[in-house]
Structure 1
Amino acid sequence: MRANWRVKGSVLAGASALALSVVVATPALADEPSGGLEEIQMPGDVEIIEGVAPAPGTVEPLAGGMRKAAAVSGACLGSTSIYGAKGCYQPGGDIVWSRDTEKDGLSAAVGIYTDYGRPAAVCINTLGADTWATCNKDYRENGNVRLRILRYNGDNGKFYQPESWSGWIPVDGRY
């Protein structure tokens, strides 16, 4: 009987430790960046593209697909976000989507990098908070792109962390 209590106590202690480690190890989503903004140095050959508002009736990206079924590819891939910005890539037209999610005077910026040596580009959303902007690029169909989501200050032309990177995304959308 005494051994049974030890087993129950050990299980209870282990479960408590596991629950505590999940609470401590899981980062909480913040309403603002922790520690403030830190400037990021961008390579000198980065092309800065000002995004445009999507055409009327254009679908907006959602996780795992698009809001309506009319999208060229039916998906916006590599969806990545940070405080104040979201971005994704829509194959079949090579459209980069940039969403500004905070009214804080900064713009959302989505860097686009290739695996075949093409100079990087950055799609800037200067349309304001709670808006999507698109940048239409033309990438090599047998290549891959990677997104870098960060913040941009149009007054001084500087980029800031926090930042987040997507994985490599096939330009043709076929994994």
Structure 2
Amino acid sequence: MRAKLRVKLSVLAGASALALSVVAATPALADDSSEGLEEVQMPADVEVLEGVAPVPGTAVPFIGGASKAAAASGTCLGATSAYGAKGCFQPHGDVVWSHDTEKDGMSAAVGVYTNYGRAAAVCINKLGVGTWATCNKDYSEDGDVRLRVLRYDGDTGKFYQPQAWSGWIPVDGQY
């Protein structure tokens, strides 16, 4: 009977020590990183554009992948997503689409970078969770763009990760 009691106490002591080591070894999160978001530095010359709601009745474009054929006018290329944001590029019309997917008080942001030296631009969706916003830009048809999706805090004007990057997307939609 005493042997069983010693075994039970040994198991209990071991479990307690293990639980204490886990608690002591796990760092506490700082108050300002409650959602795991970290500030992202944007280029100094970035143009911040406020996205607009698509015209009523406009369908969100088909999110397509890379193909050898020309992208159809209703196809959105370079679909990229990260926590709270999705984005893509519609080559016919040079439209950037930004989708806010999280109800967290922040906005979805889709940065657009070119391979021909044009300053970066960011399309901000301030329309709220579950909405799509568009930004219409005119890019060089013989250039490529790259998307960067992340979060934007309109109160502070700061951008936050997690973030994700697309590959290079031909502006003319021809791969």
Q: Same fold (TM over 0.5)?
A: yes
Note the C-alpha offset of 1:35.
6.4
**What is the DSSP-based 3-state SS (H/G/I as helix, E as strand, rest coil) of the residue aligned with 1:76?**
strand
Q: Does structure 1 retain, via aligned residues, the 8 Å contact 2:112–2:122?
A: yes
Q: Does structure 2 retain, via aligned residues, the 8 Å contact 1:79–1:89?
A: yes
Note the C-alpha offset of 1:44.
1.1
| Partner in structure 1 of residue 44 of structure 2 | 44
Note the C-alpha offset of 1:174.
0.5
Alignment of 1:84-95 (within 5 A): 84-95=84-95
Per the normalisation by structure 1, the TM-score is: 0.75
**What is the DSSP-based 3-state SS (H/G/I as helix, E as strand, rest coil) of the residue aligned with 2:149?**
strand
Change (3 A) 1:133 1:104: same
Q: For structure 2, which runs of at least 5 residues remain unmatched after alignment? A: 1-32, 66-70
1:10-65 Cα offsets, whole Å, 9 max, x none, are: xxxxxxxxxxxxxxxxxxxxxxx996100011111000000000001111034328
> Could you tell me how far apart the structure 2 residues matched to 1:61 and 1:156 are?
31
Q: Does structure 2 retain, via aligned residues, the 8 Å contact 1:72–1:93?
A: no
> Could you tell me how far apart the structure 2 residues matched to 1:44 and 1:79 are?
26
Q: How many residues align?
A: 138
> Could you tell me how far apart the structure 2 residues matched to 1:108 and 1:62 are?
19
Amino acid at match of 2:157: G
1:97-138 Cα offsets, whole Å, 9 max, x none, are: 000001100100000000000000000000000000000000
Q: For structure 1, which runs of at least 5 residues remain unmatched after alignment? A: 1-32, 66-70
Amino acid at match of 1:140: S
Per the normalisation by structure 2, the TM-score is: 0.75
> Could you tell me how far apart the structure 2 residues matched to 1:43 and 1:146 are?
15
> Could you tell me how far apart the structure 1 residues matched to 2:90 and 2:56 are?
17
| Partner in structure 1 of residue 143 of structure 2 | 143
Alignment of 1:1-175 (within 5 A): 36-64=36-64, 73-175=73-175
Amino acid at match of 2:91: P
Amino acid at match of 1:110: V
The alignment-based identity, stated in percent, is: 75
Change (3 A) 1:35 1:50: closer
> Could you tell me how far apart the structure 1 residues matched to 2:116 and 2:168 are?
12
> Could you tell me how far apart the structure 2 residues matched to 1:47 and 1:174 are?
26
Note the C-alpha offset of 1:83.
1.0
1:72-114 Cα offsets, whole Å, 9 max, x none, are: 7121000000110000000110000000001100100000000
